[in-house]
A and B are shown apart, each in its own frame.
Chain A
C-alpha cells in the first residue's frame, strides 16, 4: 500500500472516531474518571491506532466484525450510560458509517467478490469518493443530532438550515469535480494538493459547527453570569434591609423598656389616661414597623416582608403562614434567598397580570416528623403555561434570563436532597419545594 493510501486510511479512521465521539458526547455525559481532556485524547488515539491496524490487514470481514467491537470498547470507556442505550446509539452510529460506505460501493460499482477479498481499493484513485463519503456521513450525523429531542447541543432550526448550506455545498463541489471528468492522475503534485485542500474543506465543515457550539455556550455562560450578578445585587439589598430592621428592633426594645418603666411610675400614681396614651403610642409604633415577624429566622422574615410590600404595592393579596416550629437545617441564607426570591418573584409577577383575584399564598412548614421542610407557593395566573419535560416554560418576554430562575432554584434544592415540583390546579400555579433536612 502506498504511503498516500495509508494516510487516507488513517484520516478516515480519525474522522470516524471523531464523529462517533461527537455523536455520543451530544447525548451522554463523559465518565467522571476520564473527565480530563488529555485522557480522552489518549484513549481516542489508541482507538484510532487500533482501527487503523485492523484496516491495514485489508480483510473486509475482519474489518466489519472488529470495527463495532472497537467502537463499543471506546464508548464504554468514555461515556456514562446504561448498556441498552449505549448499544442502540452504537447501532445507529455504525449504520450511518457503514451505510454511507455501502452507498459508495454501489455508486462505484465495486464487484461483490472484490469486497470479500479486500476492504479497500487503491484509495488514491478514489480520494474524492472517500472524502465525499466522510462528508456525507458527517452531514447525516449532524442532521440526526439536530432532529433528536434528547440532543444537548441543538441549533435553532433557521440557523441549522443556514449552516447546513456549507457541508451540502462542499459535497456538491466534490461530486461535480469528480463527474466533470477532470483527471489529475498524471500529476501527482496536483493530486496531493487537491487532496489536502479537500481535507481542509472537510475539517472546516466540522470546525464550523464546533465553533458555533462553543460560541453558543459562551453566550449562555454570559447570560448566566449576568443573572448571578443580578441575584447578588438582590441578596445585598436583603442584607442591608436585615441590618436596618435589626437596628430598628434594637431601638424598639430599648424604647419599650423605657416605656414600661414610665408606665410603672404612672401606675403608681394612678395616672391611667397617661398610661393609655403611652400604650396607644406603642401600638402605632408596632403597626408602623413594616418588617413582619413570620418566623424565628431573620432572613426568612426579611424576604417575606420585602416581597409582601412589593405585592401590596401591586394590590396582590399576600397570605403567608410559617409554622412556628420551622427549622431549615443547613440551608444557607443565600440559598434561602435564591429559592424564595425566585419563586416569589415569579408568583407575584404572574399574579399581577391577573385582572382580579390577585393572590399569592405562601406556606412554609415541616413534614414527616421534621425530616422535610416544605415551601408551598400558590398563585393565580392568566394566559397559557406550557409544560415541558424540564418543567414549565416561562411566559415572560426575556426567556434567556428568566428561565434560569427556576433552574437555579432546582439546582440549589437538589443540593439539599430536595426537589422543586410545579403543578397547575384550578387555574392556580403551585410551586412546591421540599428540602430533606
Chain B
C-alpha cells in the first residue's frame, strides 16, 4: 500500500494529479491519498502520521509556502520522495535543501505529466523495496536503510556505519557497528549508490557535497581521501549515480 499526500490549494489540480497517478500505473486498491489545501493543515497532520511514500507539494501556497512546508516535512521524513509542482512560479536555489525529486509544471501536457509521474512512481517503489541492514549499538539492534547511511568504514571486527546527520531517528552518541565485513556490505549496497573511495571505506554517493581528484567532502563536512587506486572507478560510479536521476 502506498501513502501519497497531495498538498495544493486547487481542488481541481488534486483531482487531476490523482487521475494522472492512476493513469501512470498505480491501481485504485494500492494507494491511499491524503489531501491538504494548505501547508499548515499538512504540517498539523504530519504529527499523527506514521509514514508517507510520496508528497506532491504546490510551491505557491497561501501563508506557509511550499518551501517552508517542505522543510518541516523533511524534519520528519528525510528520505521520502518529494515532488514540487507549480503553475507559474519558478523554483529557487533554496528549494535544493529539501531534496525534491522532480519539479512539475502545471502547464505540462497530459502526456508529459504521465511520463514524469511514471518516473516518480518508480522512484517511490524503489525506495519502498530498499533492503535493510542491521547494525549494532551496544546491545541494541538498529535497522538501517541505504539512504540512512553516510559512509561505512572498516573497523576492528567488521565495519563501522556512519549515519547521515539529517536522519533524526538514529541520533546515537556512538557509532553504529556491524559484524559484516565491508566487502559484503558493499555487495549489498552497490546498487543503491555506494562506491569505494578507498580500500577501507565505502561512501553513499548522494551525500557528497564536494569532490576533487584526491578528496571528497560529505554533507556533514567529513572529509575523506580518495585513494589513487580507486579514483578512476569512483569517478565513474559517481557520474553514473548522479546521472541516474533523468
Residues of A at the B interface (CB closer than 8 Å) are 296, 321, 323-325, 327, 363, 365-372, 374, 376, 417, 419, 421, 423, 430, 432, 434, 436
Using CB atoms, name the residue of chain B closest to A372: B242
Given contacts A325-B93, A365-B246, A369-B97, contact A419 B209 (CB under 8 A): no
- B93 is contacted by which of A327, A372, A421, A436 (Cβ under 8 Å)? A327
- A421 is contacted by which of B91, B207, B212, B235 (Cβ under 8 Å)? B235
**Interchain CB contact under 8 A, A363 and B246:** yes
Instruction: List chain B residues, Cβ under 8 A from A366.
Output: 96
Instruction: List chain B residues, Cβ under 8 A from A321.
Output: 246
**Bound Cα distance A43, B91 (Å):** 60
**Interchain CB contact under 8 A, A325 and B91:** yes
Using CB atoms, name the residue of chain A closest to B96: A370
B90 within 8 A of A: yes
**Bound Cα distance A321, B219 (Å):** 27
Instruction: List chain B residues, Cβ under 8 A from A434.
Output: 238-239, 242-243
The 4 A-B residue pairs whose C-beta atoms are closest, nearest first, are A370-B96, A421-B239, A363-B246, A325-B91
B105 within 8 A of A: yes
**Bound Cα distance A434, B93 (Å):** 18
B103 within 8 A of A: yes
- B242 is contacted by which of A327, A367, A370, A417 (Cβ under 8 Å)? A367
**Bound Cα distance A205, B90 (Å):** 68
* Chain B min CB distance to A242 (Å): 20
**Bound Cα distance A199, B42 (Å):** 90
**Interchain CB contact under 8 A, B210 and A417:** yes
* Chain A min CB distance to B100 (Å): 8
What does the 1/0 interface line of B132-171 toward A look like (CB < 8 Å)?
Answer: 0000000000000000000000000000000000000000
- B211 is contacted by which of A296, A323, A325, A436 (Cβ under 8 Å)? A436
- B245 is contacted by which of A324, A365, A419, A430 (Cβ under 8 Å)? A365
**Interchain CB contact under 8 A, A324 and B239:** no
**Bound Cα distance A370, B209 (Å):** 9
**Bound Cα distance A369, B220 (Å):** 13
**Interchain CB contact under 8 A, B242 and A432:** yes
Q: Which residues 57-103 of B have a CB within 8 angstroms of A? A: 90-93, 95-97, 99, 103
Interface pairs (28), CB distance under 8 Å:
A296-B90, A323-B103, A324-B90, A324-B103, A324-B105, A325-B91, A325-B92, A325-B103, A363-B243, A363-B246, A367-B242, A368-B207, A368-B208, A369-B97, A369-B209, A369-B219, A370-B93, A370-B96, A370-B97, A374-B242, A376-B243, A417-B211, A421-B236, A421-B240, A423-B239, A432-B240, A436-B211, A436-B212
Instruction: List chain B residues, Cβ under 8 A from A368.
Output: 206-209, 242
Instruction: List chain A residues, Cβ under 8 A from B90.
Output: 296, 324-325
* Chain B min CB distance to A186 (Å): 63
**Bound Cα distance A2, B92 (Å):** 84
Instruction: List chain A residues, Cβ under 8 A from B93.
Output: 325, 327, 370
Q: Which residues 190-246 of B have a CB within 8 angstroms of A? A: 206-212, 219, 235-236, 238-240, 242-243, 245-246
**Interchain CB contact under 8 A, B95 and A325:** yes
Instruction: List chain A residues, Cβ under 8 A from B235.
Output: 419, 421
**Interchain CB contact under 8 A, B208 and A371:** yes
* Chain B min CB distance to A301 (Å): 14
Instruction: List chain B residues, Cβ under 8 A from A417.
Output: 210-212
**Interchain CB contact under 8 A, A369 and B236:** no
Query: By CB atoms of chain A within 10 A, which of B95, B97, B103, B238 has the most?
Result: B238
Instruction: List chain A residues, Cβ under 8 A from B103.
Output: 323-325
**Interchain CB contact under 8 A, B96 and A325:** yes
Query: By CB atoms of chain A within 10 A, which of B99, B210, B242, B245 has the most?
Result: B242
Instruction: List chain A residues, Cβ under 8 A from B238.
Output: 419, 434
**Interchain CB contact under 8 A, A423 and B240:** yes
* Chain B min CB distance to A430 (Å): 7
**Bound Cα distance A423, B235 (Å):** 12
Instruction: List chain B residues, Cβ under 8 A from A363.
Output: 243, 246
* Chain B min CB distance to A392 (Å): 13
Query: By CB atoms of chain B within 10 A, which of A324, A372, A374, A432 has the most?
Result: A324
Instruction: List chain A residues, Cβ under 8 A from B208.
Output: 368, 371
Using CB atoms, name the residue of chain B closest to A430: B243
**Bound Cα distance A323, B100 (Å):** 11
Besides A372-B242, A421-B236, 9 other CB < 8 A contacts? A321-B246, A324-B91, A324-B105, A325-B90, A371-B210, A376-B243, A419-B235, A421-B240, A432-B243
**Bound Cα distance A368, B246 (Å):** 14
Instruction: List chain A residues, Cβ under 8 A from B96.
Output: 325, 366, 369-370
Given contacts A324-B91, A423-B240, contact A374 B245 (CB under 8 A): yes
- B239 is contacted by which of A323, A327, A365, A432 (Cβ under 8 Å)? A432
Instruction: List chain B residues, Cβ under 8 A from A432.
Output: 239-240, 242-243
Query: By CB atoms of chain A within 10 A, which of B97, B105, B210, B243 has the most?
Result: B243
**Bound Cα distance A324, B240 (Å):** 22
Using CB atoms, name the residue of chain B closest to A418: B211
**Bound Cα distance A365, B245 (Å):** 8
**Bound Cα distance A59, B242 (Å):** 64
* Chain A min CB distance to B184 (Å): 26
* Chain B min CB distance to A352 (Å): 24
Using CB atoms, name the residue of chain A closest to B228: A82
* Chain B min CB distance to A143 (Å): 29
**Interchain CB contact under 8 A, B246 and A376:** yes
Using CB atoms, name the residue of chain A closest to B100: A325
**Interchain CB contact under 8 A, B97 and A374:** no
Query: By CB atoms of chain B within 10 A, which of A367, A419, A423 has the most?
Result: A367
Instruction: List chain A residues, Cβ under 8 A from B240.
Output: 421, 423, 432
* Chain B min CB distance to A416 (Å): 11
**Bound Cα distance A376, B241 (Å):** 12
Instruction: List chain B residues, Cβ under 8 A from A430.
Output: 243
Instruction: List chain B residues, Cβ under 8 A from A325.
Output: 90-93, 95-96, 103
* Chain A min CB distance to B215 (Å): 10
**Interchain CB contact under 8 A, B239 and A436:** no
Instruction: List chain B residues, Cβ under 8 A from A372.
Output: 242
